[in-house]
Structure 1
Amino acid sequence: MVVTVSLVALFGLVLFFLLRSHSLSPGAAFTAAAFGFFLASTGAAKPINQLTQSLIEAVSNL
């Protein structure tokens, strides 16, 4: 749960700075957020969470 909240905060911060620097339009940001929201409610959520957890464990073991 802590990793999920941290990743949400990280991606939210990246999205904020992309919007602020005009590298990303508001429409594209909304589309990306909606895609992530709907992707989380599919069967792909579990493998993505497992992959993310594995990558975090691999990085912490370096």
Structure 2
Amino acid sequence: MVVTLSAVVLLGILTTAMIRSRTITVAGAVVVFLFGFFVAGTGANKPINALCQAIADALTHLIA
């Protein structure tokens, strides 16, 4: 029997385990979470990518 597991699910499980064992901070978990979506290219990739781009644009306008 072949079991397939998406990268997003695997990274989510690993992130949850690290948070519960307190070996990673919440900020680190957010980075891992975003990495999972960017790498996996799921349907949620476009909204998350747009959100990150909007935040980057907003920070650019605040600094300039």
**TM-score higher than 0.5:** no
Q: Which has the higher contact order (CA 8 A, sep 6+)?
A: 2
TM-score, normalised with respect to structure 1: 0.45
Q: Higher Cα Rg: structure 1 or 2? A: 2
Which structure shows the bigger proportion of residues in helix conformation?
A: 1
